[in-house]
Structure 1
Amino acid sequence: MKFIKLALLLFFIPGLSMAAEKIFNADFRNRPPQMVVDGDKFSGPLKDILEEASSKIGYTVKWRKAPFKRSLEGLKNGSVDIVPRYRKTPDREVFTNYLGPIGYQERNVKFVVLKSNKDIIKTYDDLKKYKVGVKRGTSYFKQFTDDKSIAKVETSDDEQIVKMLRGKRFEVAIIIDEGAFEHSAKKEGFTDWAYAPYEFVRRLPNYYGMSKTSPNAGEYDALNAAIKGMATSGRVKEIYMQYNVEPPVQ
């Protein structure tokens, strides 16, 4: 009897509750300005949006820095709940629910070359003449993704793209995130590069990917409603403006 009373007392004392904390495990990678890694510090509008939406349904977010390939594996096996800045593709829909989108962004898919090769890519067909560096697991645009006549060389991240372009392992690299590439080039002290004249423009929905197999998969509907509510109310725009970053259009 004394044990039961003690257990009840401990349960109701603030800070000693036996109720488990509800946590989403989310992955983070450096994609300035929407996601910024500075040593062991993470910041950016996509971080703040997810944390605020999660808090609305009683969750906190535990962040881990990880390359995108590892994040994909985590979503597949359920060890990762959520990955920000996530593209919708048919193969990912097997193991992913999509949160949002929080809006849309028109983005120029660019091609980077050495300065001495600045004009080698003037049309799409020019890509078929050279080796093209791509990031493993990244979705670009359908024509490029499906084109088997282009020699594609896989890399793990923007830093490897910089090193391999400088080392002439390929003549061209495809870039969907200028900020991330330019950050890596600056970090590596690489200035002998230029954007090619040819670009491809696409309208991209900005999703978070949520695992269908994680222990928290059942929270998808509630979290998705919270995120969409933030988008339609203008809260997403407010958070972006706090960082002086152009918000996605609705």
Structure 2
Amino acid sequence: MRFIVYIFIVFAFVNYAYAAIQPNAAVQKISLAVDHAPPYSQINQNGEVSGAIVDIFQEMKKQLPFKLELVGCPFSRCVRMLEQGEVNAMGGLILTAKRQQRIQFVTPPYMVLSSSFVFYARQDSQLQIKNYDDLYGKKIAVMRGAAHFKRFDDDKKLIKVPVLAESTAIELLLKDRADLVIAVEDTADHAMSVLNQPANKLLKMQYRFNDTIYGYLALSKQFSTTLLAQQIEVLMKTMATNGQLNQIIAPYKLPPLNEQALRF
């Protein structure tokens, strides 16, 4: 298997080298969709886009000939644009069978969190969620288009209130328009500290779903068939195996890729 992967990497870089020396070869543009999910990706008040996936692509630009267009958008719109081929790439996506039918995931993942899906309520709500069944009858704010854990995502009996951003979900909760918010524990706690959100007004429920959560770079189906996309996939694997990817994500307090992640 490793020999086959090695041959694939050599073949891809030979193709890249051949394309790069063509005098009339146009420099391609990659459009990268980025949603506001601080601290791992964010859009400031001036519309400037930044984050771990942006840093990864900026590093890739040093080795591959492409221009980078950053497209800021709400999460659900970013995913929809990717599925429709209106943008080429997006980061931080959880792999699901449904998504695999519509977009191409690049391995290995660049985000690996041994965390939990947790539920937040208002501090003064008196709610107690001790097991999954306690979720029934509660209005749960969820980010539109997001993937959580299978039982939750597939459960049609739950009352889910879709929103465009995690910050909006928290606002609904504080305004008593939702009873609960679901989030990844590590990212939610970190985001609230970075954004100075009112964590003291929220109460973490006892029930949680423990999982290892992987965040991937994903490409549109249309873009994934191009030579440049194949070079991106090879370079992502190379950056992961030589430790470069870990160096890029370290400032975001993301844990380094483990052996299991590198086997993907």
TM range, normalised to the smaller chain?
A: 0.7 to 0.9
Q: What is the aligned-residue RMSD (CA, Å)?
A: 2.6
Per the alignment, residue 100 of structure 1 pairs with 107
Is the CA contact (8 Å cut-off) linking 1:159 and 1:181 kept in structure 2?
Answer: no
* TM-score normalised by length of structure 1: 0.82
Aligned match of 1:87 in 84, 94, 118? 94
2:17 alignment partner in structure 1: none
Distance 1:208 1:34, change over 3 A: same
- Cα distance, 1:185 vs. partner? 7.3
Distance 1:230 1:168 in 2: 45
Task: Name the structure 1 match of 2:247.
Answer: 238
Higher mean Cα deviation, 40-49 or 204-213?
40-49
**137, 142, 146: which one aligns with 1:129:** 137
Partner of 1:227: 236
Deviation at 1:243, TM superposition (A): 4.7
| SS of the residue 1:162 aligns to | helix
Q: 1:205 aligns with which of 211, 214, 219?
A: 214
Q: Compare 208-217 and 227-236 and name the one that shifted more.
A: 208-217
Task: Write the deviation string for residues 1-53 of structure 1: whole angstroms up to 9, x where unpaired.
Answer: xxxxxxxxxxxxxxxx9753321000112222222333333333221112223
Measured in 2, the distance between the counterparts of 1:180 and 1:28 equals 18
Matched AA of 1:52: E
Shift of 1:172: 1.0
1:119 Cα shift? 4.8
Give CA deviations for 1:159-206 in whole Å, capped at 9, x if unaligned. 32122112222211111230576269745x685222112211111222
Alignment pair present for 1:144 and 2:152? yes
Indicate the SS of the match to 1:30.
Answer: coil
Count the aligned residue pairs.
233
> Percent identity among equivalent residues?
23
Q: Note closer, same or farther for the CA distance 1:144–1:242 as it changes in structure 2 (3 Å cut).
A: closer
Tell me the SS of whatever aligns to 1:160: helix
Once residues 206 and 56 of structure 2 are traced to their aligned partners in structure 1, the CA distance between those partners, rounded to angstroms, is 35
What SS class does the counterpart of residue 43 from structure 1 fall into? strand
Deviation at 1:92, TM superposition (A): 1.8
Tell me the amino acid that sits aligned with residue 49 of structure 2.
F
Structure whose CA Rg is larger? 1
1:185/1:119 Cα in 2 relative to 1: closer, same or farther (>3 Å)? Answer: farther
| 1:116 partner SS | coil
Q: Helix, strand or coil: the match of 2:109?
A: coil
TM-score between both structures, scaled by the size of structure 2: 0.78
Q: Which runs of 5+ in 2 are unaligned?
A: 1-22
- CA distance in 2 between counterparts of 1:244 and 1:184 reads 12
Say which of 30, 40, 51 aligns to 2:36: 30
Aligned partners of 1:131 and 1:170 also within 8 Å = yes
